[in-house]
Amino acid sequence: MTSLDQLKLTFFDECDEALQQIETGLSEMRDGPRSDDTINAVFRAVHSVKGGAGIFGFEALVEFAHVFETVLDSVRRGTIVVSPEVVDVLLTARDTLFDLIQSSRSGAPIAPDFGREARQQLEQLISGDAVAAGDDGAPAPADFEGLDFTPVPVEEFGGDAPGERRYALVFRPKRDLFRNGNEPLHIIRELRRIGTLDLVAEINRMPPLGEIDPETAYLGWSGTLLTTSSREDVEAVFEFVQDDCELMIEEQGAALPEADAPPLAPVSMSASLPVSVSDAVADPAPVAVAAPVAASTEAAKPGKPAAAASTTTRIELDKIDRAVNLVGELVIAQAMLGQIVQDLPEATSFRLVQIMEEVVHHTRELKDSVMSMRAQPVGAVFQRMPRLVRELSGKTGKKVRLEIAGETREVDRSIIERLGDPLTHIIRNSVDHGIETPEARVAAGKPEEGTIRLGAEHRGGRIVIEIKDDGAGINTERVFNKAVEKGLIEANAMLSEDEITNLIMRPGFSTAETISDISGRGVGMDVVRSNIQDIGGRISVKSERGRGMTIQLALPLTLAVMDGMVIKAGGETYVVPLSAIVECLRPTPGAISNLIGSEGVLSLRGELLPLVNLGDLFLIRNNNLTDERDRVVIIADDGEGAKIGLVVDELCGHQQVVIKSIEESYGPVVGIAAATILGNGRVAFILDIEKLSELAAARSAGDVGGRLSAEMRETVH
């Protein structure tokens, strides 16, 4: 890969971050308070995309971003009033910007009229801004604000107010500033926004009229700024052009250089921002570093300590994946070493045990650090959904608002990569068949606009993603009749509302009366469930007729390493995820009651908990364990908010284990989530508590235990 290709990769990574900032900012502007900080953040993100695109010659991207940026600048100045309609135009522009970035990334040709509709909408906003500024329909004076062609002061200061500072400024754009996607007018406007600006234009570089190149910057400016803002705030105005200009910012009284003076050294910017592509050109290394520099002049002030610099580095994902795999192998080796140390005589092992404790501690820290490198906020996949909802709303003629919460919750990158398709399918169903038409909603006493809420939160060792709509919910009568028609259930079957609702997870099941090019309620939901289960997750569906539907996806935080409790049942060793364990205990006599058709129930602090005997379920009862009082009960959370008691023979201790999938080699095994390698080198199964609870409840319906035991024996052998 050439240095230029590496720089392009860095640029497109920065574009992804900018697009997320734009999406988040516009959503806040539409649904919440419209702060200046939010508007400025969106403006800077678009400006960054334009600047980088200009360096690499992505002309279509530069041109569209320039129009987008111009509208945002008018929003910043208040000449375009933010309204839901304006934000909708900006969101459409964001989508077009996304498409242009994707086309530029892939190298696909871009049609000359691509994004024409979005651009026309933006230009209409600009035109409306211009007309509103003057009764005669002439362009708004603000469009040319700050372009002083006469080398005389525009205005005189009336004196410094208390708390104000006076700065001497010299700003001379380099000739290629326009080609790099920058605009001096925006900078001048921003300076006027933070204070009183007195500028003189430097026209000594202007060529004869016939030789002027409209893409070359000729003008420079010098003057003074009276402001209450700090020096750092003034420097931040120039953060995007520091490499494309000669710049000087000095306190009042400093001598200004003449217009024909040697080039000025760029002022050191006090901003914590990733190095832009233009910065990286000088160093072709494919790493973007964000380093805040605490310096307001070329030399640090004596006696003032420099601020601590924090850096971020872009690392290829393959390298992180290899590090994760190595950590996994290290965890296994550490467990094996610990097993050997335990088997040594006490006099020999005393010192080794102390060292092993340190090794275990450092291994855990290393594991946590490496896993945090692979962690990504779910916002990386959530940010695709607003665009999807807007497109589907337009196709279906429905009014739908998407609310997003918890987008900063982090999860392993491998989970993020496999979450996009299930979420897309669920939201398609919600818009197409869940949310009613505006007329139907009004008739039902609801607002015209439907709402879909997409949220994420951490619960124990999992992340729970919830998709909830306020639509019509599932018609359980129709689902029941369709299931009978397909032969999935008997006509006289007695099913609860939740059991009927979960029939939509059956392969190919659908109650849609018409086939839509968008989705069909139920079509593909079996694939969604399969995809979620493949990554160790589970899906639950709740529906309330006329009130809406809620789908929850409970996913593991990582697919690599986990904390587990090693247990024994029937002479076999298993691992229970530590995140699922509430407590462990030995029941007192009389605490367990036998019930017909169940494994019994445990009375615990006034609560009755169903018991699941692991040995009985797997048909591997330990005949050497004659006293039932020797058994241990693990109180576990089944993932649905309910608790169960898992009856086992022995607790062997807490241990970090490496998760190894068995489905790729053997297919799914009921009740087993994965496998791991213990310190003695043997394989142990990692239990799926939710499935064990379901199997225990279904034992009365058939020989579940015998079937499960046969599947496990086949897997082991």
> Of 280, 299, 326, which residue is a domain's last?
280
Do 89 and 12 share a structural domain?
yes
Distance of CA 104 to the CA centre of its chain: 23
**According to the model, what pLDDT value does residue 349 have?**
75
Please report whether residue 312 resides in a domain.
no
Which residue range is the domain that position 251 belongs to? 165-280
User: For the whole model, what pTM was predicted?
Assistant: 0.56
Looking at 376, 391, 409, which one is the last position of a domain?
Answer: 376
- Residue 520: pLDDT band (50, 70, 90) is very low
Percent helix, strand and coil across the chain, each to the nearest 5: 45, 20, 35
SS3 584: strand
Q: Is 293 within a domain?
A: no
Query: Looking at 10-14, 333-337, 368-372, which range is the least confident one?
Result: 368-372
Segment 528-558, tens digit of pLDDT? 887 887 777 778 888 888 899 999 888 877 7
Indicate which CATH number applies to the domain containing 188: 3.30.70.260
**Residue 57 shares a structural domain with residue 129:** yes
Q: Which residues contact 618 (CB under 8 A, 6 or more apart)?
A: 569, 570, 572, 705, 708, 709, 712
- Assign 371 to helix, strand or coil: helix
| Within a domain: 342 | yes
pLDDT of 331 above 80 = yes
| Residue 580 and residue 500 share a domain | no
511-524: average pLDDT: 51
Q: Read off the pLDDT of residues 135-179 as tens digits, 9 standing for 90 and up.
A: 444 444 444 444 444 444 444 444 455 567 888 889 999 888 877
Q: Are residues 267 and 385 in the same domain?
A: no
| pLDDT for residue 333 is more than 80 | yes
Q: So what's the pLDDT on residue 129?
A: 58
DSSP-assigned states of every residue in 332-344: HHHHHHHHHHHHS
> Between these two residues, 109 and 519, which has the higher pLDDT value?
109
Taking residues 103-113, what's their average pLDDT?
Answer: 88
Q: Is 299 inside a domain boundary? A: no
Q: How far is residue 500's CA from residue 391's CA, in Å, rounded to a whole number?
A: 31
Q: How many domains does the chain have?
A: 5
In this structure, the answer to whether residues 125 and 171 fall within a common structural domain is no
pLDDT exceeds cutoff 60 at 700:
no
**pLDDT class for 452, splitting at 50, 70, 90?**
very high
Q: Which of 183, 185, 25, 139 is nearest to 90 (CA)?
A: 25
* Residue 645 to residue 638: CA distance in whole angstroms: 10
Look over the chain and give the mean of its residue pLDDT values, rounded to a whole number.
Answer: 76
Please report the DSSP string for 520-579 in residue order.
Answer: -TTTTHHHHHHHHHHTT-EEEEEEETTTEEEEEEEEES-SSEEEEEEEEETTEEEEEEGG
Token representation of residue 552: 């929850």
Based on the fold, state whether residues 130 and 245 are members of the same structural domain: no
Structural tokens at position 398:
């429905």
CA distance 319 to 316: 6
Based on the fold, state whether residues 355 and 411 are members of the same structural domain.
Answer: no
Tell me, what's the pLDDT at 132? 47
CATH label of the domain that carries residue 710: 2.30.30.40
Query: What DSSP state is assigned to residue 482?
Result: H
SS3 of 496, please? coil
Amino acid at 126: I
Residues 372 and 395 in one domain: no
C-alpha Rg value of the chain to the nearest Å: 33
For every residue of 571-582, DSSP letters joined together read: TEEEEEEGGGEE
Q: How confident is the model at residue 563 (pLDDT cuts 50, 70, 90)?
A: confident
Token pair recorded at residue 310? 């924090």
Residues above pLDDT 90, as percent of the chain: 10
Q: When comparing pLDDT for 509 and 479, which is higher?
A: 479
Do 428 and 574 sit in the same domain of this protein? Answer: no
pLDDT (0 to 100) of residue 625: 53
Same domain, 634 and 659: yes
Q: Are residues 494 and 632 in the same domain?
A: no
- Report pLDDT for 312: 62
pLDDT > 70 in the chain, percent: 76
Q: Is residue 390 part of a domain?
A: yes
What is the average pLDDT across 587-606?
76
Contact predicate 26/54, CB 8 Å: no
Least confident of 94-103, 193-202, 420-429: 193-202
Q: Under a CB-based contact definition with an 8 Å cutoff, are residues 415 and 555 in contact?
A: yes
Residue 302 lies in a domain: no
Domain end point (choices 556, 590, 608): 556
Q: How confident is the model at residue 475 (pLDDT cuts 50, 70, 90)?
A: confident
CA dihedral 36, 38, 43, 46 (to 10 degrees): 180
Q: In the predicted model, what is the mean pLDDT of residues 286-297?
A: 31
pLDDT for the residue 274: 34
pLDDT for the residue numbered 304: 38
Cβ-based neighbour number of residue 617 at 10 Å: 23
| 511 vs 572, higher pLDDT | 572
pLDDT at residue 518, as a whole number:
55
Residue 311 in domain: no
Q: Has residue 10 got a pLDDT over 70?
A: yes
Is residue 76 included in any domain, yes or no? Answer: yes
Residues 383 and 500 in one domain: yes
- CA nearest 554: which of 578, 533, 527, 523? 533
Query: From CA 560, how far away is CA 324, in angstroms rounded?
Result: 7
